[in-house]
Structure 1
Amino acid sequence: MKIVGVCACTVGIAHTYIAQEKLEKAAKKLGYEIHLETQGTIGTENALTQEEIDSADISILAIDVKIKGMERFDNITKITVPTDIAIKSPTKLIEKAVEVAKSRSKGIKA
């Protein structure tokens, strides 16, 4: 399972990077590949390529603000949540994303 996503909070400092770290640790623990872009006060870091997005099974957008390049995710199943959800329940969020991705690949609406 390949997951991509973006983390961005209102201030663009703490919650952005905490959400990224928690999601990366949860995905690793569950055995999934994850690539996360951050959009914060210092700009975009770890920018996702369109190829990475297109080859992913699902996208998690842990965002509290509008992000740059949202249209890049138009053709991929995505889950959008506040950064608080990614911080407080990263494992449950990853598990839900995997469940949604698997049901979509089988043609079942989640």
Structure 2
Amino acid sequence: MKFVAVTACTVGVAHTFMAAEVLEKEAKKLGYEIKVETQGANGIDNRLTQEEIDSADACIFAVDTAVTEPERFDNAVVLECKVKDAIKKPKKIFEKLEKALQANS
């Protein structure tokens, strides 16, 4: 499976990047492909292209604040969670995505 994600905490520093790293590691461990966009204090890093968003099976919003330019994800299957959940429970996030995708197929 192929996923994209956006991580953003209220301060936009440490937790934003910790969540991105944990999601990337868990996806790799599970055999999934993922690209994570971070929306931090310095703006958007590792910006997802519309093609990447459209070709992904689903999107994870691990956020504690509003996603910048959310309209890019209008046609995507999106699972939203708190940043702390992405850091502490990444496997559960991917399990929820798998169930949601199975229900939509």
Please state which band the TM-score falls in when normalised by the shorter chain.
over 0.9
Matches within 5 A, 1:13-92: 13-92=13-92
Deviation at 1:7, TM superposition (A): 0.1
Query: Match for residue 10 of structure 1?
Result: 10
CA distance in 2, matches of 1:57, 1:36: 14
TM-score, scaled to structure 2: 0.96
Alpha-carbon RMSD across the aligned residues, in angstroms, is: 0.8
Unaligned stretches of 5+ residues in structure 2: none
1:69 is aligned with what amino acid?
E
Deviation at 1:99, TM superposition (A): 2.1
Query: Match for residue 98 of structure 2?
Result: 98
CA distance in 2, matches of 1:2, 1:99: 15
CA distance in 2, matches of 1:23, 1:95: 13
1:90 is aligned with what amino acid?
P
Residue deviations 1:36-59 (CA, integer Å, cap 9, x gap): 100001111100000000011000
CA distance in 1, matches of 2:69, 2:101: 22
CA distance in 1, matches of 2:50, 2:101: 19
Runs (4+) of structure 1 exceeding 3 A deviation are none
CA distance in 1, matches of 2:12, 2:51: 26
